Chain A
Amino acid sequence: MREVELVAHLRPAFTEVLETMFFTSVIDICATGAAAGPPPIISRLRFRGDPSGVFEIGMTGDAARRLAAAFLGEDEQELSESRTGEVVCELANMLCGSFLSRMGDFTFELSHPEIVPSNLEAAGTSMCFELPEGRVAVGVRFGELSQAHA
């Protein structure tokens, strides 16, 4: 699948999930370079099926707390790091599922999303979304991952 087609599926998946379950909206699509610097919070999961691959999202700690507060309906100052991380992982899970479902009718299995301490280096195709809560980078790469990225 060409990158332009991937982007065509990523964008509506992201918009739908954020608007419906995080009660926010996309302001703009920014260049992936605009998310320069390692995002402090990254969630990664693998998907297995035909095709298989890896899906990641990354954002600043502030953006993560704001999104978590919107999702849970709680005060962002009251949210613990682990609770915020749970929401970031759930966002990654929903985005990945929504994205893959848009690609066609094939069965896939999603791994449990995890917070990982690295850059979005596993991503082959990436986009960056500007939200009122901050920027969220999304990356996807098809193919089995090496142990270093698994």
Chain B
Amino acid sequence: MPFNVLIVDDSPAMRSFIRRVLDLSGFPVGICAEASDGQEALDLLRGQSIDVILTDINMPRMDGEEFLRRRAQDAHMRSIPALVISTDRTASRVHRMLALGASGYVQKPFAAEGLREELERALGACHARG
């Protein structure tokens, strides 16, 4: 079953790379939507069926932390697993993002296999809960 993925990143190059890596990994992708910041992602989530979110942290207008905070306030959005993708691998940052409701944390640089494993783990945990 293909999954609808939302990529949230202010870098068009990184969004393209994530699309490429998803393809290389063999992860079954249906719709691959993109947003360049947290606000755009929230707007998109209100109107589109998304199965999993991949989000950056440092973004203009609304960053990844605020995006996760707002997502947590909405019952529907909260049910969609969200993986954080970031260069920041410090324990304090990872803990903060997980505390805000992130389902996982993928550190850059990452390989296709690693991203797929994290996606499957997050979606599996989500379905197990649901």
Contacts and interface: CB of A to CB of B under 8 A. Distances in A.
- Asked if A pairs with B, the answer is yes
Given A20-B111, A109-B58, A112-B60, A101 B13 contact: no
Contacts of A7: none
Nearest to B56: A93
Interface of B: 10-14, 16-17, 20, 58, 60, 86-93, 107-111
Interface of A: 16-17, 19-21, 68, 71-73, 83, 86-87, 89-90, 93-94, 96-98, 100-101, 105-110, 112
Contact of A106 (B58, B87, B90): B90
A107 B93 contact: yes
A86 B87 contact: no
Contacts, number: 70
A107 B89 CA distance: 9
B87 A96 contact: yes
A98 B60 contact: no
A112 B11 CA distance: 10
B110 to A, nearest CB: 7
Contacts of A86: 11-13
A106 B86 CA distance: 15
14 contacts: A20-B109, A71-B17, A83-B12, A87-B13, A89-B13, A90-B11, A94-B109, A97-B88, A98-B89, A100-B88, A101-B90, A105-B90, A112-B10, A112-B60
A87 B92 CA distance: 28
Given A72-B16, A98-B89, A107-B92, 5 more contacts: A21-B110, A93-B11, A94-B108, A97-B88, A106-B90
B110 A20 contact: yes
Nearest to B87: A97
Contact of B13 (A72, A100, A110): A72
A136 to B, nearest CB: 15
A90 B111 CA distance: 16
B116 to A, nearest CB: 14
B20 A101 contact: no
B12 to A, nearest CB: 6
Contacts of B108: 17, 21, 94, 97-98
